[in-house]
Amino acid sequence: MAASIVKRVSRVKKLNVSHISARYKLLTGFRHFSTSKQWNKALVLGVYENESTDSIDFTGTARKFDEKADGKISQLLLTVKKPLKCGKTRTLHAVDPEFSSVLVTCIGKRGEGYDELETVDKGRESIRAAVAKAVLQLRELGENEIEVDSCGDTEASAEGCHLALFSYDDLKAEKSRKPTVRISCATRYSQDKNSMEKEWRKGAILAEGQNLSRRLMEMPANLLTPTKFAEIIKEQLADKCEVLVRDKDWAESMKMGSFLSVARGSVEPPVFLEIEYKGRQSDSPLALVGKGVTFDTGGISIKPSQGMDAMRGDMGGAACVAGSLLSVSKLQLPVHVKAFIPLCENMPSGSATKPGDVVTAMNGKTIQVDNTDAEGRLILADALCYSEQFNPSLILDMATLTGAIDVALGAGAAGVFTNSENMWNKLQKASVRSGDRVWRMPLFNHYTKKITECQLADLNNIGGSRSGGACTAAAFLKEFVNNKNWLHLDIAGVMSNNGDVAYLGKGMSGRPTRTVIEFINLMSKETNN
């Protein structure tokens, strides 16, 4: 017993940051494959839900494979009387000499599309979920080279596979890690292979962005400090973006008293990241802002210890900004984006901010910090003020800001607070495509009053009561924005996945990265970004 403990401790000790960084490097993006490895090939085919017990409603690709196998696939499927239902699978062996397994997955009813009540494209969501289940089952069987049916929506199929196969096991021993799987699109029967490959690549890149967000959110806070976050972002983005890493002195010179009041309780120095992607020339970039609290203890207003480990994901906004930028730059979207990420820890200590302290933000507004656990709004206040200096055409911020948004919406949708009907419509349209939903919330003066009623300063950092907590937090942020196209996404409720999204494993979700990428894609089609 004692010996095993000693062994364990020495192993943990060995996991110093540079060692982890090397592993991390290897595991980000697409993995590298050695040529000597033995590949076990498998195929995923889609079928539509169909009541008939004597015919199979194959996708175009699946029908061709059935023909190639002399109808064996349909024969085998019809040997059992119960037709496949949406989300169910059948695995067949020895039907095609090229593949050791052929997995048939049901993608729901033919022709399913936008569902108004669900505000989602059901057809695309079913494809994502169906292929996700398929590739995971095949991985369990030891298959490691999988060709996947585009299922009539190549991009959704690629997203489903690449999101499902993600797992954060960088810190585990080799034998405990999920095996590497190579996936590709079954294009051989396509009329236009090139455009199919292009769509597949787009889906894979969208998933890659979200997977970067997930990995950053999942990383433990002792490894992912503000400094380390900046280092990883440089590694990931520096070839496509300009990455400026600002230090505490810079933040002081910018008079970011609100941001610095959160960082002051920690021994980890704060960092302010400024990233620029210039896919086109313009003097009104699209601004992204992300909350980057690498760990939120609550500070002096300390949180209960149960479940506090989840607060390593309190840089989810920052992670989603980084993930979005990765995809936007890989897709080479013709758009000018500037991103602003304040990074720090929220810790209790002798130097920490105390309840009742008053701090001054970059725009000169004074803030009475009655609750040091409402720190996200404090760091965003300065980041939003700073972003305004670049004449942005819009400002979109993302933050794991309040437990109250989780109470309101759960993991069903990210809460969106915006002063622009037009921006709301665009974001919602993007979310219908991505399947990663948003829901609009109010920015009434009613909530502003709750935070402007303040004994010592211009603003209080809490609303006085628990009621409408997500709305008072948004009202607070509104005090630091003049832009007419502002969107604030409270993503605390969608921070982690507990089985709600079928194609995301359990753990940090990286939501709503793909919605934001789609939104930027939509905006890139407008003239002024």
Give me the active site residues, please.
303, 377
- Which residues ranging from 284 to 313 are in contact with Zn ion (CB under 5 A)? 293, 296
| Under rule CB under 6 A, residue 73 binds ligand BES | no
Window 306-345: residues binding ligand BES (CB under 6 A) = 314
Nearer of residues 393 and 496 to Zn ion, judged by Cβ: 496
Positive or negative: CA dihedral 116, 117, 122, 128? positive
Q: With respect to ligand BES, which residue has the nearer C-beta, 363 or 400?
A: 400
Q: Is 145 a residue that touches Zn ion (CB under 5 A)?
A: no
What proportions of the chain, in percent to the nearest 5, are helix, strand and coil? 40, 20, 40
Stretch of residues binding Zn ion (CB under 5 A), selected from 52-60, 166-174, 366-374, 477-485: 366-374
The C-alpha atoms of residue 279 and residue 83 are separated, in whole angstroms, by 49
Confirm or reject binding of residue 221 to ligand BES (CB under 6 A). no
Please report how close the Cβ of residue 401 comes to ligand BES at its closest, in angstroms. 6
Q: Per rule CB under 6 A, is residue 507 in the interface with ligand BES?
A: no
Measured distance CA(328)–CA(518) in Å, rounded: 9
Of 131, 9, 4, give the one whose Cα is nearest residue 59: 131
CB of 319 to Zn ion, least distance (A): 13
Q: Please, which residue, 205 or 492, has the CB nearer to ligand BES?
A: 492
- Give the shortest CB-307-to-ligand BES separation in angstroms: 9
Does 40 bind ligand BES (CB under 6 A)? Our answer is no
Buried-state track 276-301, b at ≥16 Cβ within 10 A, e below 16: bbebeebeebbbbbbbbbbbbbbbbb
Cβ at position 296, least distance to Zn ion in Å: 4
**Only segment of 80-88, 227-235, 355-363, 398-406 that touches ligand BES (CB under 6 A):** 398-406
At closest approach, how far in Å is the CB of 402 from ligand BES?
4
Residues 247-286 that bind Zn ion (CB under 5 A): none
CA distance 327 to 206: 6
Q: Does residue 403 interact with ligand BES by CB under 6 A?
A: yes
If one asks whether residue 469 binds ligand BES (CB under 6 A), the answer comes out as yes
What are all long-range contacts of 241-247, with beta carbons under 8 Å and residues at least 24 apart?
Answer: 241/275, 241/276, 241/277, 241/325, 241/329, 242/275, 242/276, 242/278, 243/273, 243/274, 243/275, 244/273, 244/274, 244/275, 245/271, 245/273, 246/271, 246/272, 246/273, 246/274, 247/271, 247/272
Is residue 406 within the footprint of Zn ion (CB under 5 A)? no
**Is 397 one of the binding residues for Zn ion (CB under 5 A)?**
no
Interatomic CA distance for residues 154 and 151, integer angstroms: 7
- Among 206, 381, 404, 416, indicate the residue that binds ligand BES (CB under 6 A): 404
Of the CA atoms within 13 Å of residue 399, those in its CB half-sphere come to: 32
* In the complex, least distance from residue 83 CB atom to Zn ion, rounded to whole angstroms: 48
Contact 392, 486 (CB under 8 A): no
Rounded-to-integer distance, Cα 123 and Cα 227, Å:
42
376 binds ligand BES (CB under 6 A): yes
For the window 352-371, what string marks contact with ligand BES as x by the rule CB under 6 A?
Answer: -------------------x
Number of amino acids touching ligand BES (CB under 6 A): 17
187: left (phi over 0), alpha (psi -120 to 50) or beta: alpha
Point out which residues bind Zn ion (CB under 5 A): 293, 296, 314, 373, 375-376
Point out which residues bind ligand BES (CB under 6 A): 296, 314, 371, 373-376, 400-404, 406, 462, 469, 492, 495
